[in-house]
Amino acid sequence: MSEDIKKGLMGVTVDETAISKVMPEINSLTYRGYAAQDLCAKCKFEEVAYLILNGELPNKKQLKDFEKRENKERKISKSLINAIKSIPKTAHPMDVARTAVSIMGLEDKDASNNSPQANMRKVMRIFAKTPVALAAFYRARKGKKIIPPEKKLSFSENFFHMCFGKVPNKDIVKAFDVSLILYAEHSFNVSTFTARTITSSLSDIHGAITGAIASLKGPLHGGANEEVMHMMNKIKKPENALKWINNALDNKDVVMGFGHRVYKSGDSRVPTMREYFGKVAQIKKDKKFEKIYDIVEKVMIERKNIHPNVDYPTGPTYHLMGFDTDFFTPIFVISRITGWSAHIFEQHAANKLIRPLASYNGNQHRKVTQLNQR
C-alpha cells in the first residue's frame, strides 16, 4: 500500500467548519465556541438546536419564534402515517427514519429549491416531523394507537408523550434533553461527511439527510449505543461483569461504547451523560446497569487504556427511560438532524464537489479474448 494513502481519511483535513470543534485547551467538544457540557447545564435542547442552525444562542423572542415554528411543523401527512402503518413490524427503526425522511422529500413543495431560505424551511419540517414519524412507528409496531403531537409540549416532552402516552418527571426529561444536546453535532464524523458529500453534488437536503441516517445506522457510528445495551443484557448482572469483560479482552472481542478517533484521553461528553445516567438510575431505583458500567469501564481503562465514549452511558440511560433498544440510534437521529443540517448549509455556502482519488492496485492492462476462447 502506498504511504500516501490515508485509510478512512485518517488525519486528512478536507474542509473548514465553524460549527463544532473538540478544543484541546479546554478538553471539550464545543458548538459554535460553547462547551457542550455548559450548554447542557444552562440550556434546553431547543436553544442548542437554534445555536447550531443559526450560529448564535437565541434571546427569548428568537427562542419563542423558533419553538413556535417547530410546533407548527410537527403534524405529518396521512400518506406518511399510512406508509408507517404498512412497514413490517420487524423493520429496524433506523430504516423507518430513512424512509420517512425520503417520503417527506416527495411531499415537500420546496424539495428542488436549494436556496438558503428554502433549505431552512425544509430543515424545520424534517426536524419537527421526524420524531413524530418515529414515535408513530414505535406505537404502530406494538399494535397501539398512534398518538399525535401536542403543541404545548417541549421537543423532548412531546417525544415521550407520543411514544408512551405520558410525560415523565422533569428530571427524566432533562436527562433526555441532555442526551440530545450531546448528540446534536460532532464535526466531520462519518454521517456528517456523508451528508456533505451528497450535498456537494447539489443534491437535495432530504437526500443528504437520508444518506446520513443510513451511515449513522452502522455499529461503528450511531449504532454503538444499541450494541452497548446488547452487551449489558448479555452480562445480565454485576456479578458476571468482571469475568465477561476479561474474557472479551482475552478473546480480542470488540467492546462497543469505548474508544473514539477524536478523543485520546476520554470523550468530553461522557462525564455529563454519566451524571444523568446515575440520576435516571436513582429515579428508576435500578442500579444494576450502573454497577455493570463501572466494572467494565474500570477494566477497559486498566487493561487497554481505552476510555468510554458517549454511547456507553447513553444506551443504558435510554433503556431505563423505557425505550426499546433498537430506538436508541433513531433518538440520536432526531438530535443530529440539527448538526447535519448546519453542515449542509455550510457545504452549500462554499461548495466544491467532493471527489477523492483512489490508488489503483488491480490488474494491469489485459486484452479481451472471444467468449469461445476463454
pLDDT confidence of residue 264: 66
E strand map for the chain: 20-23, 28-31, 34-35
Q: Give yes or no: 311 in active site.
A: yes
Q: CATH code for 59-218+332-349?
A: 1.10.580.10
Q: Give yes or no: 177 in active site.
A: no
259: confidence class by pLDDT, cuts 50, 70, 90: confident
User: Average of pLDDT values for 274-282?
Assistant: 97
The rounded percent of the chain whose pLDDT value lies above 90 is 89
Given 161, 260, 307, 343, the catalytic residue: 260
Note the pTM of the prediction, 2 decimals.
Answer: 0.94
pLDDT at 260 over 80: no
The rounded mean pLDDT for the chain is 95
- 195, HSE (Cβ side, Cα atoms, 13 Å): 28
* pLDDT tens for each residue of 199-215: 999 999 999 999 999 99
User: Average of pLDDT values for 271-280?
Assistant: 97
pLDDT at 263 over 90: no
Walk across the sheet containing 20-23 and list its strands.
Answer: 20-23, 28-31, 34-35
* pLDDT tens for each residue of 297-318: 999 999 999 999 999 999 999 9
- CA separation, residue 51 to residues 23, 46, 198, 297 (Å): 18, 9, 24, 33
> Per-domain residue ranges for the chain?
59-218+332-349, 224-321
Q: Give yes or no: 221 in active site.
A: yes
pLDDT confidence of residue 2: 52
Angstrom distance (rounded) from CA 158 to CA 178? 15
223: confidence class by pLDDT, cuts 50, 70, 90: confident
Given 110, 267, 311, 343, the catalytic residue: 311
pLDDT confidence of residue 343: 98
pLDDT confidence of residue 3: 63
User: Average of pLDDT values for 48-66?
Assistant: 98
Domain 224-321, CATH among 1.10.357.10, 2.170.120.12, 3.40.228.10, 1.10.230.10:
1.10.230.10
Same fold, 59-218+332-349 and 224-321: no
Given 95, 221, 324, 348, the catalytic residue: 221
CB atoms within 10 A of CB 102: 15
The rounded percent of the chain whose pLDDT value lies above 70 is 99
Angstrom distance (rounded) from CA 265 to CA 260? 9
pLDDT confidence of residue 7: 87
